[in-house]
Amino acid sequence: QVQLEQSGAEVRKPGASVNISCKTSGFGFSDHYMHWVRQAPGQGLEWMGLIHPKSGDTNTAQKFQGRVTMTRATSVNTIYMEMSSLTSDDTAMYFCARDFYGDYSAAFAIWGHGTMVAVSS
């Protein structure tokens, strides 16, 4: 079945970087946009950016440009999100999500379980 398996929780100190993975299965890896969404404790959903696994093209939300890098490894059907210069404001649950039908405007039909990142000195 369609699955998005995310890497485990991370704890980092301020100023450090974190790299989260999202392994996909059950669908054509090259057929859908993959998105990253985060949610700070008690807060709403915040879109971070997307990657198209076939081309590697990315689109990063303005807020995260220069600090977030999204990549993919087609050999293992996995996408990655690296965030640098972490602050306590980056403490959040990070989700990967797959679009519904391979279009920019499509809904996010499938979600990973989330990866908790805690930033604390």
Q: Which residues bind to other proteins, rule: CB under 8 A? A: 35, 37, 44-47, 50, 59, 61-62, 95, 97, 100, 104-109, 111-114
Indicate the residue among 30 and 65 with the shorter CB distance to other proteins. Answer: 65
Closest approach of Cβ 88 to other proteins, in Å?
A: 22
Closest approach of Cβ 43 to other proteins, in Å?
A: 8
Closest approach of Cβ 110 to other proteins, in Å?
A: 8
Indicate the residue among 107 and 121 with the shorter CB distance to other proteins. Answer: 107
The encoded tokens of residue 14 equal 């301020």
Indicate the residue among 20 and 50 with the shorter CB distance to other proteins. Answer: 50
